[in-house]
Structure 1
Amino acid sequence: MNSSASISLSQLYNFKKLSELQHMTRAAKELYITQPTLSLSIKALEHELGVPLFYREGRQIRPTKHGREFYDKISSVLDELDAGIAAVRSHGAPSGGSLSIGTIPTIQHDFLPALLQQFWEEYGYDVRMGFTVEFSLPLTNALKAQEYDLIFASKADNEPGISYLPMLTKRLVLVVHEQHRFAKRDSVRLSELSDLPFASYRPGTPLGNEMRRLFDAHGIEPSIVYDDEFTLTSVIV
């Protein structure tokens, strides 16, 4: 029993091209295959379908009744397939398509503008970009749900399905009031914070988990925890 599973896409494309050109040599040339290869492909397709698809009329190759019917059925399908492949490929091409990007707030004012300027200088402005600003964990979850093409965020723990590429590093700084005894210092040891109330990132976030490991190693613990730098600096007294 013949099965459509035995018919390949290349056979269908070969058939479509020969039906349109009705010339074996020209069809083979446009398909970038040899004439014997095209002939064998058509014979195999006819064998699978169980009907003749072409007949010779002088030097021309004419489609039979079955060939014309088959062409009417598959031509639009192959055209839609080509259009679908082209549309998907355009999203991955630097010269077209679109990108959905998630980013944390802290890189919006320096790193991201410089990166975008470099991208536009190299590839132009054809790529449509949409940006969403959010914290790292929501961005990571949304990326896993395929809501974004890429994100700029802190690296989360235990995410084997996500590939991370380091883009930049940030210094760990201590922010104090201008009248604080540390205000004139260039550096402070973490152990010096043991007798002071201080704020840091909330554990459970990528940066918070990293800070927790660092603080645990020095036997200190923040009195207040927040998700972002903007809120952290607002509690300085």
Structure 2
Amino acid sequence: MNIGKVARLLSGSRAGFQSLEHIDAADDFFSGIFSSDQGADQIKNQLVTKIYDGVVIEPNPFAHVLMSMSAGPFLMSRQVGTGFAFVVVSGADTASSNFPLSPFFPVVIQRALFYSAAVRYKPSQILAGQRLSVNVNPRESDLAQSSTSRIEGFARELGFAPENVFVVKADKNAVASIDRLRRGEDLSSIFAASALLLLIAEIFVSRMKTI
């Protein structure tokens, strides 16, 4: 995932640490966490975060900075497919920052997991050189507009054997016709009628013998 490039390592100490300078509280990621009437300073005061070491990343245009420190972004996101990916520039241990000790930490993790797994439907992105199929005329997808011979010929071009190609009219009996093609003809009624005729013949013959 390309979200930017590493500019330098952030190697501080307990005395020389980085603090959170900005939080995009208006983003949906933080919805319901901060009060709408809170200012940036009030939000920062709630998150007394000290970052001792990590990496400084120069984000590219695809990255969205959710939280930043004076040296650069601290928490970034990028849309990948139908979900999101998140990057934190510092380790999730107390040697790197005190962020894991913050009550805000589990909320961020929960939101990141939720947004990573969430599916958002959007128009597909077409890349240059990518193959795609388009029906310029919507009627082209209506097989009723084509003749049976053309459909069978197209099926042969795709490699289907002629005996395995069946054209069924899309009427109210289409489901029954497809089921009949899959399962074959139901011969139970024929066998039942034959058994009944044999029974009648047997009765008739037995009566003839008694006479």
Larger Rg: 2
Class of the TM-score when normalised by the shorter of the 2 chains: under 0.3
Q: From the two aligned structures, give the one with the greater helix fraction.
A: 1
Please give the TM-score of this superposition, normalised by the length of structure 2: 0.21
Normalising by structure 1, we get a TM-score of 0.20
Give the structure, 1 or 2, with the largest relative contact order (CA under 8 Å, sep 6 or more).
2
